[in-house]
A and B are shown apart, each in its own frame.
Chain A
Amino acid sequence: MKNNTKNTLRKMGMKLLLLTAVLVLLDVLYYYTFYPKDLEEHCSLMSLSQKAIQDNYDIVYLGESSNHAYSEQDSDRRAICVMLDSLLPAYKVGNLGKAACHASIYYDILRNIPHENTVKAAVVTVNMRSFSSEWIYSRLEIALRKEQVMMKKAPALYKRMLLAFKAYPHWTEEEREKKVLRGIKQQTFSIPNCPYHNASEWDRAVGKSGMLYNGTYPSSDTIILACHYIKDFAYQLDEKNPRIKDFDKIAQLCQKRGWLLVLNIVADNMDQIQALVGPELPWLMNQNTEYITKRYEKQGIIIVNNLNEVRDADFFERDFPTEHYTQNGRLTIARNIAEKFSCLFEK
């Protein structure tokens, strides 16, 4: 009986070895045949990494829609990175970002920049909304995470297998909504003299009462907007936040590859937030940017804090929290980054 089992195990071991050899051969076959097409089709982010060497960028700019969104009234529709390029004439600045991107994606884009490159610095956008559950579990996240599968550091066939077996979050809308709700409940914070301890409590209180912090009862659209601000920004940053972990990885990567890292905290509509939600939320948001500044400045990373730098009039989308600026807003951010670079170059 025991001999039978032994024989079976030996046979299985042999077949496993043979299977490994077949898989290696198939991987080579795939790499040279369908892999480039699959990258093109299922991983547009990979082409962004390649752009860094194709266009010989000195400074790579990684941002989401805040970089390129413009108002119809703008006469200057240039993206922030293009403005930065003209403000730093000695350097070639290029965009490697895409709408809805966040730190985890930036890390993969940076990691996949080939070793032979001319990059000297990376300007990475820090969108304060990207730390909240609403963004972490956003609809767009599924598509991005799917693209990330093909950016993994692994054999090509293995990555395609992960894609085939849907090894990425593919939540249904119901599951996604549940995750967002659970996440908002877990967004805890401590604000002096504030009766709320997590975003869910705060959101519910404002939504249910229909009353703003100053005692007024505005239209339901305004209340919805106030609730969005609460859900998007009412959290206290700590090292457990997945995005902080991603920024840590970016910091390590840039250090390893000898790139200067600039974290560009983009502006949010603090005037509107203050007007709708009260002073507590802007206070908390500033606490969070302080956390980021302290955490990363210690590591020699340059922080450009633009959070309060753009005024209400320069946000062209009024009914949803976005970081979409008019030309003035974009120019302000580009100037602030350029100034930091100039100071560095002077030194």
Chain B
Amino acid sequence: MLFNSIEFLIFFPVVTLLFYLLPHKFRWILLLGASCFFYMWFIPKYILILLITIVIDYSAGILIFKWKDSPSKKKTCLVISIISTCVVLFIFKYLNFVSANLVALAQHFGWEHPQQVLHIALPIGLSFHTFQSLSYVIEVYRGKQKAERHFGYYALYVMFYPQLVTGPIERPQNLLTQLHREKKLQYDNIANGLRLILFGLFLKMVVADNLGAYVDQIYEDPHAYSSADILLGMLFYSFQIYGDFFGYSSIALGCALTMGYTLIDNFRTPYLSDSIQEFWRRWHISLSTWFRDYLYIPLGGNRVPIPRWVLNTLIVFTVCGIWHGANWTFMIWGFAYGVLLCLERPLRNLHLSDRINSKVGKVLLKTLNILKTFIIVTLLWSVFRAPSFNSLYQLFSALYHNLTLPMQLHISTIAWIALGAFVLLDLLIRNSRFDVWCSQKSGFVRWLIYAFLIFGITVFSSVQQYPFIYFQF
């Protein structure tokens, strides 16, 4: 079910109301049932794949906990669990890609072999719940989390509907623990949750979808547009993907909060980052911390010699790229971030900011760094957005060749207002969260903001259907 659908507008209040009407001991049944219903709204049969992952990791968790005093058994169990969970992910997400590349490679060496294509659709949000499930097994293995005996609660941890499809990727210490606790009806939770939902819907329906229309035009046929149009399209995509994903995360956080559950914040004004490293601390936080805790640190992190650190960084970011999708463009996108981070380290060590004494100078340097980071991120988003290298080449070739063409895109006032409002709100709420920032305003201002958001969502939202970008992952 989509958050921005009429079905969800009915589903959400009904589930929340029933949640508070039911006694605590029955709530997991309601939430699990609702989550299944929510997921099955897309393609019902894919719930079985989810069930396989849940059963594997639930059993692994119990066995690891049982054999906590036997390191070899414990490790074997962890490895089996990780491999089995990843195999499911591999079959559905990467098999066709790997097979196509192997066939291409074989052809390169003159060996003709037809490609076996698996005609299956990628289950929505597979990468997200796979990672969430893995984080549970790893935490149990590390002894930081007790194995969950109650299958229903474990299943709910993986399937909790607000974050099932596009995260945030939760840790068991946060979500599983909360699911066991009884939640009381609290006005602040309801109010803050609804604020986040309203804000998220605005970001998705007004900002992302309105900008998306122009982005699609540009990427479909870049040669029909001038260089200025293409640059504008790239800029719009930066805000489209941010609005889209931040919007989804806000709605997810809001839905959970109305029931008293707190999920991890996924974004903290990422476009105000003054370095690539900082960008990854503020963008898709639940994923970047997942990679940090379960891949980067186990590989040795930064407490290793520089060549090894470079290798670690490149591995982590390339895997991060592949996580997004089975396409070379994603891999290159991730790898490029790895390279940039490696290049950034010696620059950071120069401590330029410390050498400037004047306040104005510091501000200027920070502003320039923010601008530099934003330009890099925007350029790399074009790699992320392009469906293939050929499209990417077409885009940059048009950008280079169409310098003299007049602008073709006629951007509506609504799109500009939406973008302006988003940038302004992002600046205003930086280092905070919309609900918290809003609750600090006077009642009159608050209601003015609500009225603006409601009016925007109903009147200025796009009438075209744009699925959430991160659904494909």
Question: What is A's interface to B at a CB cutoff of 8 Å?
Answer: 1, 4-5, 7-9, 11-12, 15, 18-19, 22-23, 25-26, 29-30, 34, 38, 42, 146, 157, 160-167, 170
CB–CB B455/A29 < 8 A: yes
CB–CB A26/B451 < 8 A: yes
Cα distance, A19 to B198, chains bound together (Å) = 13
Q: Judge whether B465 is part of the interface by a CB distance below 8 angstroms.
A: yes
Interface string of B1-22 (1 = CB under 8 A from A): 0001110010000000000000
Q: Which residue of B lies closest to A8 (CB)?
A: B187
Known A164-B205, A165-B4, A166-B6: A11·B187 in contact at CB below 8 Å: yes
List 7 tightest A-B contacts by C-beta distance, closest first: A167-B6, A164-B461, A165-B6, A161-B458, A8-B187, A160-B458, A11-B187
Question: A9-B185, A19-B450 given. 20 additional CB < 8 A pairs?
Answer: A7-B187, A8-B185, A8-B187, A11-B187, A15-B191, A22-B447, A22-B450, A22-B451, A25-B451, A26-B458, A29-B455, A30-B458, A38-B459, A157-B458, A161-B458, A164-B458, A164-B463, A165-B4, A165-B9, A167-B6
Known A162-B6, A164-B461, A167-B6: A12·B454 in contact at CB below 8 Å: no
Q: Judge whether B175 is part of the interface by a CB distance below 8 angstroms.
A: no
Contact of A12 among B184, B190, B463 (CB under 8 A): B190
Chain B CB count within 10 A is highest, among A12, A19, A22, A164, for A164
Cα distance, A157 to B447, chains bound together (Å) = 18
Q: Which residues from chain A contact B184 at a C-beta distance below 8 Å?
A: 1, 4-5
Q: Which residues from chain A contact B459 at a C-beta distance below 8 Å?
A: 30, 34, 38, 157, 160, 164
Q: Which residues from chain B contact A26 at a C-beta distance below 8 Å?
A: 451, 454-455, 458
CB–CB B9/A170 < 8 A: no
Known A12-B187, A22-B450: A166·B465 in contact at CB below 8 Å: yes
Q: Which residues from chain A contact B457 at a C-beta distance below 8 Å?
A: 161, 164
Q: Which residue of B lies closest to A160 (CB)?
A: B458
Q: Which residues from chain A contact B450 at a C-beta distance below 8 Å?
A: 19, 22
Q: Judge whether B357 is part of the interface by a CB distance below 8 angstroms.
A: no
Q: Which residue of A lies closest to B2 (CB)?
A: A166
**Can you list 12 A-B contacts (CB < 8 A)?**
A4-B184, A5-B184, A22-B450, A22-B451, A26-B455, A157-B458, A160-B459, A162-B6, A163-B463, A164-B459, A165-B9, A166-B4
Q: Which residue of B lies closest to A1 (CB)?
A: B184
Q: Which residues from chain A contact B455 at a C-beta distance below 8 Å?
A: 26, 29-30
Question: What is B's interface to A at a CB cutoff of 8 Å?
Answer: 4-6, 9, 184-187, 190-191, 205, 447, 450-451, 454-455, 457-459, 461, 463, 465
Contact of B186 among A8, A18, A19 (CB under 8 A): A8
Known A18-B447, A26-B451, A161-B458: A42·B5 in contact at CB below 8 Å: no
The A contact surface, by secondary structure, is helix
CB–CB B451/A166 < 8 A: no
Shortest beta-carbon distance from B55 to chain A in Å: 29
The B contact surface, by secondary structure, is helix
Cα distance, A170 to B6, chains bound together (Å) = 12
Chain B CB count within 10 A is highest, among A8, A18, A19, A25, for A8
CB–CB A42/B463 < 8 A: yes
Q: Which residues from chain A contact B9 at a C-beta distance below 8 Å?
A: 165
Q: Which residue of B lies closest to A159 (CB)?
A: B458
Q: Which residues from chain B contact A4 at a C-beta distance below 8 Å?
A: 184
Cα distance, A170 to B187, chains bound together (Å) = 36
Chain A CB count within 10 A is highest, among B6, B186, B205, for B6
Cα distance, A167 to B465, chains bound together (Å) = 11
Shortest beta-carbon distance from A167 to chain B in Å: 4
CB–CB B463/A165 < 8 A: no
CB–CB A165/B186 < 8 A: no
Shortest beta-carbon distance from A175 to chain B in Å: 10
Cα distance, A170 to B463, chains bound together (Å) = 11
Cα distance, A88 to B465, chains bound together (Å) = 46
Shortest beta-carbon distance from A22 to chain B in Å: 5
Q: Which residues from chain A contact B451 at a C-beta distance below 8 Å?
A: 22, 25-26
Q: Which residue of A lies closest to B463 (CB)?
A: A163
Cα distance, A4 to B454, chains bound together (Å) = 29
CB–CB B187/A166 < 8 A: no
Q: Which residues from chain B contact A164 at a C-beta distance below 8 Å?
A: 4, 205, 457-459, 461, 463
Q: Which residues from chain B contact A160 at a C-beta distance below 8 Å?
A: 458-459
Known A18-B447, A166-B6, A167-B6: A146·B454 in contact at CB below 8 Å: no
Contact of A146 among B190, B205, B447, B463 (CB under 8 A): B463
Shortest beta-carbon distance from B175 to chain A in Å: 24
Shortest beta-carbon distance from A103 to chain B in Å: 24
Cα distance, A7 to B186, chains bound together (Å) = 10
CB–CB A5/B454 < 8 A: no
Shortest beta-carbon distance from B210 to chain A in Å: 12
Q: Which residues from chain B contact A163 at a C-beta distance below 8 Å?
A: 463
Cα distance, A166 to B191, chains bound together (Å) = 26
Contact of A170 among B186, B458, B465 (CB under 8 A): B465
Q: Which residues from chain A contact B190 at a C-beta distance below 8 Å?
A: 8, 12
Q: Which residues from chain A contact B6 at a C-beta distance below 8 Å?
A: 162, 165-167
Cα distance, A164 to B457, chains bound together (Å) = 7
Cα distance, A318 to B407, chains bound together (Å) = 45
Q: Which residues from chain B contact A167 at a C-beta distance below 8 Å?
A: 6
Q: Which residue of B lies closest to A41 (CB)?
A: B463
CB–CB B5/A166 < 8 A: yes
Chain A CB count within 10 A is highest, among B184, B187, B451, B458, for B458
Q: Which residue of B lies closest to A7 (CB)?
A: B187
Shortest beta-carbon distance from A233 to chain B in Å: 33
Q: Which residues from chain B contact A42 at a C-beta distance below 8 Å?
A: 463
Shortest beta-carbon distance from A171 to chain B in Å: 11
Cα distance, A19 to B278, chains bound together (Å) = 39
Q: Which residues from chain A contact B461 at a C-beta distance below 8 Å?
A: 164
Q: Which residues from chain A contact B186 at a C-beta distance below 8 Å?
A: 8
Q: Which residues from chain B contact A1 at a C-beta distance below 8 Å?
A: 184
Chain A CB count within 10 A is highest, among B4, B190, B205, B459, for B459
Q: Which residue of A lies closest to B457 (CB)?
A: A164
Shortest beta-carbon distance from A192 to chain B in Å: 41
Shortest beta-carbon distance from B455 to chain A in Å: 5
Q: Which residue of B lies closest to A163 (CB)?
A: B463
Shortest beta-carbon distance from B255 to chain A in Å: 16
Q: Which residues from chain B contact A166 at a C-beta distance below 8 Å?
A: 4-6, 465
Q: Which residues from chain B contact A34 at a C-beta distance below 8 Å?
A: 459
CB–CB B454/A22 < 8 A: yes
Shortest beta-carbon distance from A289 to chain B in Å: 37
Q: Which residue of B lies closest to A9 (CB)?
A: B185
Shortest beta-carbon distance from A161 to chain B in Å: 4
Cα distance, A4 to B461, chains bound together (Å) = 38
Cα distance, A78 to B457, chains bound together (Å) = 45
Shortest beta-carbon distance from B392 to chain A in Å: 27
Q: Which residues from chain A contact B185 at a C-beta distance below 8 Å?
A: 5, 8-9
Q: Which residue of B lies closest to A167 (CB)?
A: B6
Q: Which residues from chain B contact A170 at a C-beta distance below 8 Å?
A: 465
Shortest beta-carbon distance from B87 to chain A in Å: 27
Shortest beta-carbon distance from B470 to chain A in Å: 19
Shortest beta-carbon distance from B209 to chain A in Å: 9
Q: Which residues from chain B contact A25 at a C-beta distance below 8 Å?
A: 451
Cα distance, A285 to B4, chains bound together (Å) = 43
Known A26-B454, A26-B455, A42-B463: A165·B5 in contact at CB below 8 Å: yes
Shortest beta-carbon distance from A186 to chain B in Å: 20
